[in-house]
Structure 1
Amino acid sequence: MKIGEASRVSGVSARSLRHYEDEGLIVPGRFGNGFRDYCQSTIDRVLVIRTLLESGLPVRLIREILPGLNGGSDDGTPVSCAEFLHEVRSYRDRLATRVTVLRDQQAALDAYLEQARTTGR
């Protein structure tokens, strides 16, 4: 399918699809006229990429994760090396810290709103 249809099917803009390609995250086929040709497996990969980006993972880590999600790495190197796993855990820990801060802020706002409701402010 061409980029417009791939965009519609995946819910990802054509610009984002081109960006994913520029970053080496996807490699769409090409029609004889040079237009991109997105197969279903590429669309499936785009959906995974979008989910990982929405979770806050940087493109660099996603690029390293993707081969492992397809059953191995592209160059024969194990994806789950200790250094990489350490980096993913570190990212997860930073994310957990941010979640804690946001929960504390939400609790403070909830307390303020409850106080305002009961005092009529």
Structure 2
Amino acid sequence: MKIGELARRTGVSTRSLRYYEQRGLLTARRDHNGYRRYSTDAVDLVLNLRRLLKSGLSVADVHRFGSCVASPDLDSTPCVPALAVYEQRLRTLDEQIATLTHLRHNLAAHTEHLRARIEAE
């Protein structure tokens, strides 16, 4: 199928499909006229890519999934690399949440301190 049809069937823009190809997540063969041609398996792959990237994973994270990312049913197919990616991403998010919570606590304390001083004047 051509890039326009793949875009239509997946709800992903042709620009995004070109980006996925640029980043090595999607491959296409080229016709003699240079048009991209994708296999029908590309639909599942693109739908998985879209879901994973929208979930907050990076392109590098998705690369670590290996061939699992092309699975017709990513959620039902055991994928050992995916588990490692999910666990690492969760650790990263937990660290970011802890940092933000600490920063928020400090900012709230400074705000209350300044508010009390202003109101005392």
Q: Is the TM-score greater than 0.5?
A: yes
What's the counterpart of residue 103 of structure 2?
none
Cα distance in 2 for residues equivalent to 1:65 and 1:35 = 28
Distance 1:70 1:48 in 2: 7
Give yes or no for the alignment of 1:92 onto 2:90: yes
Q: Does 1:40 align with 2:40?
A: yes
Deviation of 1:28 (Å) = 1.2
What is the TM-score of this pair, normalised by structure 1?
0.62
Q: Write the distance in 2 (CA, Å) between the matches of 1:11 and 1:97.
A: 34
- TM-score normalised per structure 2: 0.62
Query: What amino acid maps onto 2:62 in structure 1?
Result: I
Q: What is the identity, as a one-letter code, of the residue corresponding to 1:37?
A: R
Superposition RMSD in Å: 3.0
* 2:64 partner SS: helix
Alpha-carbon distance, 1:94 to partner? 3.6
**In 1, distance between residues paired with 2:39 and 2:70?**
16
Alpha carbons of 1:3 and 1:27: their partners in 2 closer, same or farther (altered >3 Å)? same
Q: Deviations over 1:38-86 (max 9, x none)?
A: 2210121011100100110010010111324458xxxxxxx957xx92x
Structure 1 unmatched runs, 5+: 72-78, 102-121
Q: Does 1:2 align with 2:2?
A: yes
* Matched position secondary structure for 1:40: coil
How far, CA to CA, are the matches of 1:44 and 1:80 in structure 2? 19
Pick closer, same or farther for the CA change 1:10–1:70 going to 2, 3 Å.
closer
Instruction: Structure 2: give runs of 5+ residues left out of the alignment.
Output: 72-78, 101-121
Partner of 1:25: 25
Matched AA of 1:90: Q
